Amino acid sequence: MRTDDGLYINIHEAAAVNYGAMHLLLDPQTLTFTSFVTPEANGWKGYMQAPRTTPWRTVQVADSACKQLASRLILNLNDPCALEDVSWIHPVKYMGVWWEMIAGKSAWSYTNDSPAIDLATFDYSKATPHGYHGATNENVRRYIDFAAENGFDAVLVEGWNIGWEDWACNSKDYVFDFVTPYPDFDIEYLNEYAHSKGMKLMMHHESSSSVRNYERHMEKAYKLMNKYGYNSVKSGYVGDIIPRGEHHYGQWLVNHYLYAVKEAAKHRIMVNAHEAVRPTGLCRTYPNLIGNESARGTEYQAFGGTQPGHTAILPFTRLQGGPMDYTPGIFEMDLTYAGNKSRVLSTIGGQLALYVTMYSPLQMAADLPENYEKHLDAFQFIKDVAVDWDKSVYLEAEPMEYITIARKAKGSDNWFMGSVAGKTAHDSQVKLDFLDEGCKYEAIIYADAKDADYKTNPQAYVITKKTVTTKTVLKLRSVAGGGWAVSLRPLDK
């Protein structure tokens, strides 16, 4: 919230363990908030046994929006790291067989032989492939090759395992076993192929919100990952929760999410949970929780629901509790190429900016390789940008309107900048006085072109190079729904 006299107020919570998530209801007449806890299936707020520590309720008050973005209050109200060895936890920049399913080009499923699948009896070896399965050996190799050539760490593959034909029926208990691949996905060969190119595959566990089923199979699934060299997993919780009647943000599910992270740590596995409860800083205690979704990410732009301004509010709200796997980097906004009538409401300049403004040590280049090949000059920023930082400087911000951030790459003298705009254009005048005094830098600027438009001309961008110092003031314009990004490399070091 922003008050009339210029104060910025943030209400949140921290260290939510064994407790339902908090929500706020605003009374439009009295302008007062009432908080409530997500209930259990029977309506109870939860089940407590003393002694018990409840989550923190936080109110942050600052005289600037940038100070709100810089706050680490929520993270620091969590317990210190609970893991003795964290040497296996590291940042990840990845690609994946995923966006093509979101866009409609391919499918998670393998066959149309039956509208309902019983994993105990259905024989996939005798099934007829429908021909548009995304997780095939050939297609996964294509992603591995492109990702390896461009310096990525991993490739996510969704739809690799049996059961996707009727996964989202919302009432099925035994929906996946998390260990059996489809006939056209050779799990041993593809992992060996990725490793031969210095890369990993990223596992995908979609539970379809059948949480009891996931917990039954979790140990075997993590052991399979260890066997084939996976070190990270994207888990998902799409649909209504089973046990039936529970809520994604209730105490039962909050406990499950943390249980999954703790069990993964025993197997030295990093977790990126989608559709899970919004983070409350627990990544400080369990740093193998390397990412979360827990808000509308890029896929909702493909569905047509996310409007400009969304990415200029999330750092003030959702990201206060921890990093977000927003899955940025879409270059082809018009999805009719994949049979989808929707379009992503952004520009290429705005997509590049997200790698800086949406903090996460886990960052995806979400688009298809062929879409990047059309714009390799802009793709260079995604290749160059860091995913872990030594320092962050919040240069200008206004919730829903614009955010501009500069970050120094961890263990490096390189800096990266990003700026996103909401529903109106924004002109930035940014001083580079955060750079090292007396040092010259090469600045590569990726900006919206003058005629860029997130609806009609989203792929219009301009790349310029210039030498800058601490005395330089960059004057750059973001169109509505757009943005700009800059890489800064010292010339005399």
Q: Give catalytic residues, as residue numbers.
A: 299
Q: Residue 300: which of 324, 326, 279 has the closest Cα? A: 326
Q: Residue 419: which of 434, 401, 443 has the closest Cα? A: 401
- What secondary structure does DSSP assign to 17-54, as a single string? -SSPPEEEEEETTTTEEEEEEPP-TTS------SS--P
Q: Which residues pair with 93 in a beta bridge?
A: 363
| Cβ-contact 237, 274 below 8 angstroms | yes
CA atoms of 321 and 13, how far apart (whole Å): 8
Rg (CA), the chain: 23
| Cβ-contact 241, 212 below 8 angstroms | no
The whole-angstrom distance between residue 304's C-alpha and the CA centroid of its chain comes to 18
Report CA-CA distances (Å) from 331 to 149, 369, 458: 19, 10, 9
Helix/strand/coil for 202: strand
**DSSP secondary structure code for residue 139 in this structure:** H
Helix/strand/coil for 319: helix
Report CA-CA distances (Å) from 46 to 38, 278, 440: 8, 18, 58
- What secondary structure does DSSP assign to 102-125, as a single string? HHTSSBS--B-S-SS--TTT--GG
Residue 443 makes CB contacts below 8 A (sequence gap 6+) with 465, 466, 467, 468, 472, 474, 486, 487, 488
Strands (E), 68-222: 92-97, 154-157, 200-206
Helix axes 211-228, 251-266, angle to 10 degrees: 20
User: Helix and strand tally (H, E) in the chain?
Assistant: 11, 19
Paired tokens of 311: 């990415």
